[in-house]
Chains A and B, each alone.
Chain A
Amino acid sequence: YALQGSRWRVKNLTYKISKYPKRLKRVDVDAEIGRAFAVWSEDTDLTFTRKTSGPVHIEIKFVESEHGDGDAFDGQGGTLAHAFFPVFGGDAHFDDAELWTIGSPRGTNLFQVAAHEFGHSLGLSHSDQSSALMAPFYRGFEPVFKLDEDDKAAIQSLYGRKTNQLRPTNFYPPTTQRPSFSPPKVPLDDSICKDSKVDTLFNSAQGETYAFKGDKYYKLTTDSVEEGYPQLISKGWPGLPSNIDAAFTYKNGKTYFFKGTQYWRYQGRQMDGVYPKEISEGFTGIPDHLDAAMVWGGNGKIYFFKGSKFWRFDPAKRPPVKASYPKPISNWEGVPNNLDAALKYTNGYTYFFKGDKYYRFHDARFSVDTATPPFPRPTAHWWFGCKNTPSSTGNIVEGSDSEFEQHSQIPHADD
């Protein structure tokens, strides 16, 4: 997915249909537009309230040809609709030359197009995932709609996860203390707690998160290390050496590991060909002895970090690294030099690790997140579930909510 870079400061949004389509009944349009907004409130705390007059956040119009915004519609087919990002007002315009239909394979399905356009109204750009609602091309009528994981991750990266779901009656109430029957799991081999500096962290294609340190690796749960870890890297990824510099999994599902001047490619746990190869051969323009690497959620491109510099790598481009790179890491506001690891986590946030601390990066604001307790935070406690770890940032109390539970909250009131 891709984010435009702006979002609404509030989660309770209003909308108004100020010009209805000529071929559909108003009551039907109201219902379809309501359904289309509901797509985005399913997995977030966003709410959408229809108003019939007065100022609203998102104004919806069905218009034809030139309609005042300089981006004229082109008749049936071609462009179907467009919408403005939050920073430009969020309004959505639909080409009324289209044959808008409801629940029919004829014409153009209003619900599908409206749900897509409202994604723009909320801050999402077009996705290059063809299965995503935010892919730009109309796919034809789909009788059963299901929001793609790509879209879910996108909207949650801007507005957080849903927090107001009805919980089953036997669900224990929210508390700042962990329930006594579910203590945080501390790794049996707690060396990672004593020294939480890692070599690299990465997600597998299946969405599992691994931390590599020396000759061992740890599989992470949402708040600690899974039981039975650490294990030897040489057993988990046969042929892979210890002391890896950097790793990431690309959208092709393959995981790349870097060490010194060489890199290895794996499909799952199997080496994907004859490796190692020289970084200079497979990743032209990227230096050796890297500090960290990641696929950034903001644009899906690969970023490499070393010392005080970073490089952007786009395999589809020739050359894959633009002449304007490397650039200073200080461009990533709040991120330090000499990183150990970088990770786009499954919750949509980007994390940077250095020494025994980590930083959470706010993609949309393009700076390290502000939160309580502040970043950087101690990695041992928040990622490995270690108890009583020293905290230079303070305010970390035993049993406090985990990093990942906090993501279901509104990150900041002042965003």
Chain B
Amino acid sequence: QAAPVSTTTQAEIYLSQFGYLPASARNPASSGLHDQQTWVSAIEEFQNFAGLNITGELDAETMKLMSLPRCGVRDRVGAGEGRSKR
């Protein structure tokens, strides 16, 4: 069973997996190293994309949506690891 998202670390991995945070956030050694503004901005961007209230906080509604079954393709294509087409 895939684990639901219930901690900051899991959310961090999720946001990195789907292109909202740099891929390095998936590496346990470097997780938690990004600044607060990057973190809030990533949460906001995910909330905006998913049609949630944009709070910038890892609230229950956000974690609930992050725990839904979904497609494994990144939401933000080209973000994080490389350059976008443009």
Q: Which residues of A are in contact with B by a Cβ distance under 8 Å?
A: 2, 4-5, 71, 73-83, 85, 98, 108, 113, 116-117, 120, 125-126, 128, 130, 136-138, 316-318, 331, 366
Question: Provided the pairs A366-B85, A366-B86 are in contact, do residues A80 and B75 lie with their beta carbons within 8 angstroms?
Answer: no
B28 CB-CB contact with A under 8 Å: no
23 contacts between A and B (CB under 8 A): A4-B77, A5-B77, A75-B2, A78-B3, A78-B70, A79-B71, A80-B70, A82-B71, A82-B73, A83-B73, A108-B69, A116-B71, A126-B49, A126-B75, A128-B48, A128-B49, A136-B18, A136-B73, A138-B69, A316-B44, A316-B48, A317-B44, A318-B41
Q: Which residues of B are in contact with A by a Cβ distance under 8 Å?
A: 1-4, 18, 41, 44-45, 48-51, 54, 65, 68-75, 77-78, 84-86
Do residues A125 and B77 form an inter-chain contact, with CB atoms below 8 A?
yes
Q: Give every chain A residue within 8 A of B71 (Cβ-Cβ).
A: 79-82, 113, 116-117, 120, 126, 136-138
Min Cβ gap A102→B in Å is 17
Tell me the interface secondary structure of chain B in the complex: loop
Min Cβ gap B81→A in Å is 12
Do residues B72 and A81 form an inter-chain contact, with CB atoms below 8 A?
yes
Question: Provided the pairs A316-B45, A366-B86 are in contact, do residues A75 and B69 lie with their beta carbons within 8 angstroms?
Answer: no
Residue in B1, B45, B73, B86 whose Cβ sees the most chain A Cβ within 10 Å: B73
Q: Give every chain A residue within 8 A of B18 (Cβ-Cβ).
A: 136
Do residues B86 and A331 form an inter-chain contact, with CB atoms below 8 A?
yes
CA distance A125 to B76 in the complex (A): 8
Q: Give every chain A residue within 8 A of B1 (Cβ-Cβ).
A: 75-77
B73 in complex: contacting residue of A74, A126, A366, CB < 8 Å: A126
Do residues B2 and A77 form an inter-chain contact, with CB atoms below 8 A?
yes
